[in-house]
Structure 1
Amino acid sequence: MFDFDRLWTPWRQVRKAFALLHLRKSYDLFHFYYGESLLARHRDLPMLKRAGKRIVFHFRGCDIRMRGLELARRATCACKDCPALCSSDPEKESLRDLARRLADRTLVATPDLLEWVPEADLVTQAIELGALPELPPPAVKKDRYVILHAPSDPLIKGTRYLRTAIAHLRSRGYAVDFRLVSGRPHSEVRQAIAEADIVVDQLLVGWYGNFAIEAMASSRPVVAYIRDDLARRAGFSPPILSATPDSIERVLEELVANDRVRAGLARAGRPFVSRIHDAGRIASQLLDCYRSIVG
């Protein structure tokens, strides 16, 4: 059996090492995402620090979220149904300690991650709003309502709870169609959003993801689990109807029946995305961060 990984990984590391030599001469600041850096086991970070370079770490989710503590703290959480991802909790603790020791600034993409790195700054997910055409909101009155869900990982997103809720609603006579889109090109996801009446994002994390941002930018009412404490920590409340695995059936039932609430969520979505997630605003925030470090 040919072991591709054993052949490929060392050569890739060699290429990265040569790239590091070039990059170290060309740049003053290095911004690393998702707990990664240029070399395996972050061997490049001490080298960069010795060379006087500035380092930014930007955590995005399971790269720093610690499963054991998450499960111990709350019943509804991102780790409820999924196995450990990315690395073990001790490895994540080591990564956090490394960032505290070597990074000039630590950032997180969502407020729940501040539980693991409270010293970090929140820099939210960015979206090219201009690349998303403004769509009219869904029709208020319809014979059937299309509920869309597009999980990147069904276990983390709580997909099975949504499936059960949809099945119960149908058995009780509600005219709802469930569309699940996964592993498809972005263009297909965009088209599915345009055809949806209600979009359901994640039901376990306690905050919303990129899919919800695109749906709000497209004037679609969005459902996701939003923890009140995270909204306070973030300093803003998204126009999203909150639902947990226990309440998702009831929330969808009320949303299908309430034209006014659906219309209000649809209207509020795009202005919110423009204010909080527009790529130009996030770029300005990052530039301010870089300038504060480099001087």
Structure 2
Amino acid sequence: MSALVRKIVVPLQRVIAAVSFRRARRRSTVAPISWVIGPEETATMVRSMAQSLPGSYTAVLKPHPFYAGGYDYEPSPVPGGWAGSAIRDAWIFGKLAARARGFIYVGPGGFLRAQSDLRVFEFSFLKERGVKLVCYFTGSDIRSIPIMRAHERDTGLPNIATYLPEIKPIFGTEAYDRVRRGIAEAADRYADVIFTAAVDQCGYLTRDTEPFRYFYPQERIAADLTKFNLPGPRVVLHAPSSPIIKGTQLVRAAVAALRAEGLAFEYVELSGVPHTEVTEALERSHIVLNQFYAHMPGMFGVEAMAAGAVMMSSADEHVETDLPVGSNDAWVVTRHYEVTEKLRELLQMRPEQLLAQAEAGQRWVRQHATAEVSGKVLRSLLDAL
């Protein structure tokens, strides 16, 4: 994209958004929307949150490789390439802004992707027109690498920021961190409510925030846990979305060491596969090795516990203060240097012991991470705006 094209398209988007907004507001037949949720999908957050908000509308502009389809609005190709898409996005944004009580932005992206102001125009456009604004941060969209590295020095606990720049050097640059600061400043200035994980996603936000919540469908919590009483080896699953920062190297070392000790178990590793394949593997898994550089269980951790698997994770309520009290009972808290030890203990447990731990995980999901429970909290906060 040339500088000339951007120079033309950016102001054009702003004009089109305003025209679209005025036109939609004049049309009394247009049905209202409670909340527009988008524009990027992250681990089913958009889809799951919408189930908790009656009258909401999902608009995802960038297809997700593992969670494609099923949204109220997904763009189709238009003539004109990038410029044509930018014009279409502006028209849709203005139209939705005219119909909605508010927007919930999941992640760092904006609806007006031609803009390079870290959503400042977009946010101000909504606020000037009386539209409520919620920012829902999901991880590295708000996380500052320097701040998280300082956290590691203070606590001795490696975290995602420890290895993220090793995967992509851009994450360790000043330019990348300036963008995190700008995203935080825009949210601080305009958002009515901000959701994040205060420690695991620490960055430059200065305002009080609401704890990150998961929206897992309660009807998908496994009812049958007879797998713990079936004959055969224990099934151990590791399904990292990003192997290095999830600790796959630690997992593989633990698996090799325990097999050398003579412990019999089936190890399944999945990465870069459709979500349905991971779900099928979860159904028969007894133990799930989640992630070992994070302070939150993550959406996959919630799915694992809901499926009735014993979950190993570095998530710790004593580190991540936004986690509910008692969370550490729901999973096996495992530091990066404890993977082999903790996995050995689980593999040597009796079936009834593993079952009790799996049931504790399911209770945590029911109490803190379902669409029904989190939806009630979210609706209360939004209704108060």
Normalising by structure 2, report the TM-score.
0.69
Q: Is structure 2 residue 372 aligned with structure 1 residue 242?
A: no
Please tell me whether the aligned partners of residues 207 and 230 of structure 1 are also in contact (alpha carbons under 8 angstroms).
no
- TM-aligned CA deviation for residue 140 of structure 1: 5.0
The 1:26–1:154 alpha-carbon spacing in structure 2 relative to 1, beyond 3 Å, is same
CA distance in 2, matches of 1:137, 1:156: 33
- Which of 137, 140, 161 pairs up with 1:79? 161
The within-5 A match list for 1:185-204 is 185-204=274-293
Contact 2:222 2:308 (8 Å CA) reproduced:
no
Q: Which residue of structure 2 aligns with residue 26 of structure 1?
A: 99
Q: Distance in 2 between matches of 1:128 and 1:110?
A: 25
- Residue of structure 2 equivalent to 1:205: 294
Separation (CA, whole Å) in 2 of partners of 1:276 and 1:64: 23
CA spacing shift, 1:27–1:220, aligned 2, 3 Å? same
Aligned to 1:50: 128
Identify if the C-alpha distance between structure 1 residues 99 and 256 changes in structure 2 by more than 3 Å, giving closer, same or farther: same
Q: Which amino acid aligns with 2:355?
A: A
Q: Distance in 2 between matches of 1:110 and 1:126?
A: 18
AA of the residue aligned to 1:103? A
Indicate which of 118, 137, 143 corresponds to 1:65.
Answer: 143
Deviations 1:188-220 (A, max 9, x none): 212211221211111111221111111111211
Identical columns (%): 23
Identify if the C-alpha distance between structure 1 residues 142 and 254 changes in structure 2 by more than 3 Å, giving closer, same or farther: farther
Hey, what does 1:134 align to over in structure 2?
Answer: 223
Query: Structure 1 residues 60, 85: closer, same or farther in 2, change over 3 A?
Result: farther
- Please list every run of 5 or more consecutive structure 1 residues that lacks an aligned counterpart in the other structure: none
How far apart in 2 are the matches of 1:89 and 1:97? Answer: 12
Q: Which has the higher contact order (CA 8 A, sep 6+)?
A: 1
- In structure 2, the residue matched to 1:125 is 214
Matched, 1:92 2:180: yes
Shift in alpha-carbon separation, 1:137–1:225, aligned structure 2, 3 A:
farther
Larger radius of gyration: 2
- Following superposition, the deviation at residue 85 of structure 1 comes to 5.1
Distance 2:229 2:177 in 1: 47
In the alignment, the residues of structure 2 paired with residue 207 and residue 287 of structure 1 have an alpha-carbon distance, to the nearest angstrom, of: 23
Instruction: Give 1:288's aligned amino acid.
Output: S
Q: Which among 92, 95, 101 is matched to residue 189 of structure 2?
A: 101
Counterpart-to-counterpart distance in 1, 2:229 and 2:348: 10
- Alignment length, in residue pairs? 288
Distance in 1 (alpha carbons) for counterparts of 2:96 and 2:299: 30
The CA deviation string for residues 228-268 of structure 1, in whole angstroms up to 9 with x for no partner, is 42454423314100112211001101111122542221121
**1:62/1:85 contact within 8 Å kept:** no
- Distance (Å, rounded) in 1 between the aligned partners of 2:150 and 2:222: 43
Q: Distance in 2 between matches of 1:192 and 1:290?
A: 36
User: Equivalent of 1:159, from 221, 225, 248?
Assistant: 248
Partner of 1:258: 349
Which residue of structure 2 lines up, in the alignment, with residue 289 of structure 1? 381
**Aligned-partner residue type, residue 90 of structure 2:** A
Contact kept? 1:225, 1:243, Cα under 8 Å: yes
Deviates more, 1:241-250 or 1:231-240: 231-240
Q: Contact 1:109/1:125 (CA < 8 Å) preserved in 2?
A: no
Aligned residue type for 2:338: S
**8 Å contact from structure 1 (residues 198, 222) kept in 2:** yes
Letter in 1 for 2:276: S
Q: Which residue of 2 aligns with 1:10?
A: 83
Mapped to 2, the partners of 1:115 and 1:262 lie a distance apart of 37
Q: Which runs of at least 4 in structure 1 moved beyond 4 Å after TM superposition?
A: 84-87, 140-143
Q: For the residues of structure 1 that align with 2:147 and 2:260, how far apart are their CA atoms?
A: 38
Query: Which amino acid is the alignment partner of residue 192 of structure 2?
Result: D
Q: 1:115: Cα distance to partner? A: 6.3
Using structure 1 for the length normalisation, give the TM-score. Answer: 0.89
Preserved contact between residue 147 and residue 177 of structure 1 (Cα < 8 Å) = yes
3-state SS of 2:163 partner: coil
Query: In the aligned structure 2, how far is the partner of 1:89 from the partner of 1:76?
Result: 19
Q: For 1:284, give the aligned amino acid.
A: K
Q: What's the secondary structure of 1:134's corresponding residue?
A: coil
Q: Structure 2 unaligned runs (5+)?
A: 1-76
Aligned-residue CA RMSD (Å) = 2.4
